[in-house]
């Protein structure tokens, strides 16, 4: 159904500005990147291959011939690999530089000395980097194609509508990047100073040959050629077998092994923690300033479009002839652009009639507008449009421009927004519940929902991973002592909750209400206390109660993948049918469930199994 857009005054439209027709807009929309270009695949490929390369990389023991010192090359490799996990997603411009750099380092440093398994893993890393580089290049090429299509549709360029204020975009990221990069540079200098100081002291120290008689957690006990017994600190005491010969440097009370020079690992960690976000913020700031400066340079493409603001504050842009508002092209958050604006021109008013709550009244009508600039992912735009009273206003992008997704429409119904925020079922939920109710028949037996075979398999895999990781951690702690490299294994404990949920979550509905079985407890919710059940965009289940509390099942699914595969897992079916039972009391079971059907929380059981595994590794 078409509607009459709010007109824009003719004086606010540059002379000769063409309309962005649906044919041109659809052609622009069809240039969006293909599915394989999505950053998720590049990130996943890099994670898997880098993890494989680290797992099979041989670690030669420390020796006088091959000492274990500061590894700057390894730090650069780790930094680039970690940074690319973010850059592949948000900064394809930086990916085009970082991916070839890391691939070159891997090919130059790792491949020549690698065995067959490690060589295969490193070749896979290079292939993953090439795939990520190609995907990033395609994303940037898509932006160029969209800019060209916009410029072709706009024809001649037009000047901006008056002053748009000083160029402030990117100032904050650039300032933060300057601070972080300064700290990173200081960390590098301090690390190099520590290495230089160690080398100077080693040059004037006396070299002594000694035999290893025993080793502790972070030291080795030695007997020198002159029958002295000394203890020397060591990061890798397990590398020196009893009876072996080592060389010790002594300078007064200072001594160290020749095989273990100063390691600036602490400064390296500081450099990584500051350089990676600093480099990312620097790139973000530079790109923001470049795009903002490009928009300020006249002339720029100008097209007549339609736009509307929804109740979430997003502005949706449509073709100029799409008066029904059926096909949104993209959405973005916009803010006032004029430097002297006082904020009075707005699409949102507040109703002061209600003293208890001020409900914003949003103008969701279609408005005629002039779009200045070329729209693309991450681009900068100006919109000359009208406010609620039809007065011209200029607004500017205040966030990333995003393509409209299939099934994602503007939220134009304020009641739907209120229902989404308060979890009260709106008309759409009621219609869905009515359709599901038509497929259900009244029953006396309790209804039960639980995990499927895929979820149970994933739960078993998580459990095995936790047990293996903790066993390895325990053995390393007993044999080698505590090391920072095994600290991340403690993070495996958070998988216990996820494994318990995937293995044995359960929801049982009977005449009295719901029995909710999670990872650690079983909770009973009477029907009169149930408020709503929903499946979130993050793949979690939430059951809200009238007292304001919420019961969660976190990390059950992946909604986007489920929609793409057109599957309806048991937890989605549970949410829909529980909502139906909530809205249709006549369909609720008439019998009560037995205690055997309440479900068993597996969190304590899995924690006990992990404790047994730890004890076995400790004593065996």
In angstroms, the first-to-last Cα distance of the chain is 75
The pLDDT mean for the chain works out to 80
Query: Confidence class of residue 94 from pLDDT cuts 50, 70 and 90?
Result: very high
For the stretch 368-384, pLDDT in tens is 999 988 888 878 888 88
pLDDT reported for residue 416:
43
Q: Which residue has the higher pLDDT, 200 or 607?
A: 200
3-state secondary structure 504-539: HCEEEECCCEEEEECCCCEEEEEHHHEEEEEECCCC
DSSP state of 399: S
Q: Which residue has the higher pLDDT, 404 or 254?
A: 254
pLDDT reported for residue 604:
83
Instruction: Scan for tokens 């891997």, then name that residue.
Output: 106
pLDDT reported for residue 561:
77
DSSP character string of 216-260: -SSEEEEEETTS-EEEEE-S-GGGS-TT-EEEEEEETTEEEETTS
Checking if the pLDDT of 93 tops 90, the result is yes
d(CA 209, CA 177): 49
Checking if the pLDDT of 166 tops 80, the result is no
Percent of the chain with pLDDT strictly greater than 70: 83
The sheet with strand 206-215 has its strands ordered as 229-233, 219-224, 206-215, 245-251, 254-257
d(CA 236, CA 63): 11
Highest mean pLDDT among 2-6, 97-101, 161-165, 293-297: 97-101
For the stretch 554-566, pLDDT in tens is 777 777 777 777 7
Checking if the pLDDT of 345 tops 50, the result is no
Mean pLDDT of 477-494: 54
Mean pLDDT of 392-406: 77
Phi, psi angle pair for 313, to nearest 5°: 90, 0
Checking if the pLDDT of 485 tops 60, the result is no
Q: Which residue has the higher pLDDT, 562 or 82?
A: 82
Checking if the pLDDT of 338 tops 70, the result is no
Q: Which tokens belong to 38?
A: 């999505």
User: How many other C-beta atoms can be found within 10 angstroms of the C-beta atom of residue 513?
Assistant: 19
Checking if the pLDDT of 423 tops 60, the result is no
- Half-sphere exposure (CA, 13 Å, Cβ side) for 531? 16
For the stretch 50-77, pLDDT in tens is 888 888 887 778 888 888 888 888 889 9
Contacts of 15 (CB under 8 A, 6+ apart): none
d(CA 422, CA 399): 26
Mean pLDDT of 335-352: 49
Instruction: Scan for tokens 């048991």, then name that residue.
Output: 570
pLDDT reported for residue 184:
92
Going by their DSSP bridges, the two strands 402-403 and 447-449 should be labelled as unpaired
Phi, psi angle pair for 207, to nearest 5°: -90, 130
Q: Is 590 helix (H, G, I), strand (E, B) or coil?
A: coil
Instruction: Scan for tokens 């824009």, then name that residue.
Output: 8
Answer whether the bond into residue 299 is a cis peptide, omega within 30°: yes
Q: Is 184 helix (H, G, I), strand (E, B) or coil?
A: helix
3-state secondary structure 180-209: HHHHHHHHHHHHHHHHHHHHHHHHHCEEEE
Nearest Cα neighbor of 466 from 516, 502, 436 is 502
For the stretch 223-243, pLDDT in tens is 888 888 888 888 888 788 888
Residue 80: which H helix or E strand, with range?
Answer: helix 72-90
- Half-sphere exposure (CA, 13 Å, Cβ side) for 168? 9
Q: Which residue has the higher pLDDT, 342 or 86?
A: 86
Q: Which residue has the higher pLDDT, 183 or 66?
A: 183
Checking if the pLDDT of 351 tops 60, the result is no
pLDDT reported for residue 281:
92
Contacts of 175 (CB under 8 A, 6+ apart): none
pLDDT reported for residue 406:
52
Checking if the pLDDT of 396 tops 60, the result is yes
For the stretch 258-303, pLDDT in tens is 888 888 888 888 898 899 999 999 999 998 888 888 777 768 889 9
Q: Which tokens belong to 426?
A: 């709106």
Checking if the pLDDT of 478 tops 60, the result is no
Q: Is 557 helix (H, G, I), strand (E, B) or coil?
A: coil
pLDDT reported for residue 185:
93
d(CA 186, CA 206): 32
């Amino acid at each position: 159904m078409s509607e009459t857009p709010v007109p824009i005054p003719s004086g606010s439209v540059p002379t000769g500005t063409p309309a962005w027709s649906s044919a041109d807009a659809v052609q622009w929309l069809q240039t969006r990147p293909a599915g394989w270009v999505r950053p998720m695949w590049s990130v996943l490929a890099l994670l898997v291959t880098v993890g494989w390369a680290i797992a099979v990389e041989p670690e030669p023991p420390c020796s006088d011939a091959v000492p274990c010192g500061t590894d700057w090359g390894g730090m650069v490799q780790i930094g680039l690999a970690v940074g690319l996990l973010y850059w592949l997603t948000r900064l394809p411009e930086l990916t085009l530089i970082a991916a070839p750099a890391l691939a070159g380092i891997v090919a130059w440093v790792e491949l020549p000395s690698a065995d067959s398994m490690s060589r295969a893993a490193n070749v896979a890393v290079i292939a993953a980097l090439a795939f990520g580089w190609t995907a990033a290049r395609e994303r940037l090429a898509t932006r160029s194609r969209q800019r060209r299509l916009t410029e072709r549709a706009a024809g001649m360029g037009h000047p901006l509508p008056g002053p748009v204020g000083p160029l402030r975009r990117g100032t904050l990221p650039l300032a933060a990047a300057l601070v972080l990069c300064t700290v990173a540079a200081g960390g590098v200098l301090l690390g190099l100073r520590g290495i230089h100081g160690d080398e100077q002291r080693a040059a004037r120290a006396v070299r002594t040959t000694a035999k290893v008689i025993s080793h502790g957690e972070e030291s080795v006990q030695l007997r020198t050629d002159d029958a002295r017994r000394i203890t020397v600190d060591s990061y890798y005491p397990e590398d020196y077998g009893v009876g072996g010969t080592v060389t010790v440097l002594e300078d007064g009370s200072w001594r160290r092994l020749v095989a273990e020079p100063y390691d600036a690992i602490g400064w390296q960690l500081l450099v990584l923690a500051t350089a990676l976000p600093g480099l990312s913020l620097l790139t973000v700031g530079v790109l923001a300033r470049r795009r903002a400066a490009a928009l300020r340079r006249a002339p720029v493409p100008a097209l007549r479009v339609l736009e509307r603001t929804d109740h979430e504050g997003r502005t949706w842009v449509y073709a100029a002839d799409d008066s029904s508002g059926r096909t949104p092209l993209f959405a973005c958050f916009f803010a006032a652009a004029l430097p002297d604006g006082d904020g009075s021109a707005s699409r949102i008013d507040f109703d002061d009639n209600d003293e208890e709550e001020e409900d914003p009244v949003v103008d969701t009508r279609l408005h005629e507008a002039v779009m200045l600039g070329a729209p693309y992912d991450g681009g900068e735009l100006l919109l000359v449009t009208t406010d609620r009273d039809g007065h011209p206003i200029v607004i500017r992008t205040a966030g990333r421009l995003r393509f409209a997704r299939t099934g994602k429409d503007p939220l134009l119904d304020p009641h739907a927004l209120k229902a989404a925020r308060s979890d009260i079922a709106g008309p759409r939920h009621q219609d869905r519940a009515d359709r599901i109710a038509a497929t259900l028949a009244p029953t006396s037996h309790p209804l039960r929902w639980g995990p499927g075979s895929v979820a149970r398999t994933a739960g078993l895999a998580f459990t095995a991973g936790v047990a293996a990781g903790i066993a390895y951690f325990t053995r390393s702690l007993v044999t080698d002592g505590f090391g920072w490299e095994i600290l991340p294994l403690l993070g495996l404990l958070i998988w216990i909750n996820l494994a318990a949920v995937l293995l044995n979550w359960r929801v049982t509905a009977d005449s009295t209400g719901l029995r909710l079985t999670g990872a650690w407890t079983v909770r009973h919710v009477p029907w009169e206390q149930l408020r709503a059940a929903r499946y979130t965009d993050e793949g979690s289940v939430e059951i809200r109660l009238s007292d304001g509390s919420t019961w969660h099942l976190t990390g059950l699914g992946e909604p986007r993948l489920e929609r793409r595969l057109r599957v309806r897992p048991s937890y989605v079916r549970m949410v829909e049918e529980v909502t139906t039972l909530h809205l249709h009391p006549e369909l609720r079971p008439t019998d009560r469930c037995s205690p055997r059907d309440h479900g068993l929380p597996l969190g304590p059981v899995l924690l006990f199994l992990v404790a047994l595994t730890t004890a076995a590794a400790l004593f065996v």
